Amino acid sequence: MQTNSANPSAPLSPALDRQSLRPDCGNCFALCCTAFGFSRSADFALDKPAGAPCQNLAPDFSCTIHTSLRPRGFRGCTVFDCFGAGQKVSQGLFGGTSWREDPGAKDQMFAAFKAVRQLHEMLWYLAEARRRTFDPDVAHRAMELGATIGRAVDGGLQQLLALDVQDLHAQVRSTLMEVSAEVRASYFAAGGDHLDAGLGPGADLMGVNLRGRRLCGADLRGAYLIAADLRDSDFSGADLLGADLRDARLGGADLSASLYLTQPQLNAATGSRATRLPADLVMPPHWHRE
């Protein structure tokens, strides 16, 4: 069982259990293929309005082109991750009754899915914040926020849809930023290439060459790293919250101790077997296996 660095004897709150934040498509009514819309682009081969099932959706809620999504022009589907919201809404909030069986529940089910996905993503980050902080008070705050989210998700449909998600998001963001500053500060003393001008939150680093750089402790929150060359770089203690890693080259990079990295970010990037990842993330199938 995972424990907290500020209090190693204390297990993580059940609301912060990352195992429950992983997609279980077999227990979901293909909510990601229906609730969200998308436009024809490099990520999607066609237009689909929100609330309408994808044309590739089978009667049993499976995808008819699952094994060939990328070559068929649906790269966006391979990047998406619901953080376990699909099965939580399908089997928990709606008791295993699908939107096909009860069309009248469709709008509420899709609204619940969108809300729970946001909340589960917050839980993903809070679990890491609690594990990485050195401050017991901050760890406790992360636990309490996680418990609040857990109660909202488990409290029923009406309570969930009435929740002020934006206010909760602001509280979570404040805690994540505090932990980020704390973790990154532990790397500053040793210096690093992150001190270069131009590297920072929200920075436009599209296509930039940062290969082999020591980016320990860098604050790359929300940075645009699209198609950047990040091969062989060290991201220990680097804040990657919301960083756009689409087509970023991560071959040989060390991301094992980076902060706030998610599976969707990795799915959007390219890498190799030499890329070092956090223990609870996996190498995407499309990465080079050399």
Q: 242-289 pLDDT, tens per residue?
A: 999 999 999 999 999 999 999 999 999 999 999 999 988 999 998 965
Q: 85-111 pLDDT, tens per residue?
A: 999 999 999 999 999 999 999 999 999
Q: Which residues contact 188 (CB under 8 A, 6 or more apart)?
A: 217
Q: 169-191 pLDDT, tens per residue?
A: 999 999 999 999 999 998 864 45
| pLDDT on residue 222 | 97
| pLDDT on residue 195 | 56
Q: 228-248 pLDDT, tens per residue?
A: 999 999 999 999 999 999 999
Distances (CA, A) of 33 to 26, 38, 52, 97, 205: 13, 10, 8, 17, 31
| pLDDT on residue 5 | 43
Query: pTM for the complete prediction?
Result: 0.89
Domains and CATH numbers, the chain: 11-184 (no CATH), 193-290 (2.160.20.80)
Backbone angles phi, psi at 11, to 5 degrees: -70, 155
Band the pLDDT of 14: cuts 50, 70, 90: very low
- The label of the residue with tokens 């619901």 reads 82
Closest C-alpha among 260, 252, 258 to residue 235: 258
d(CA 3, CA 9): 7
Judged against a pLDDT cut of 70, whether residue 192 lies above it is answered with no
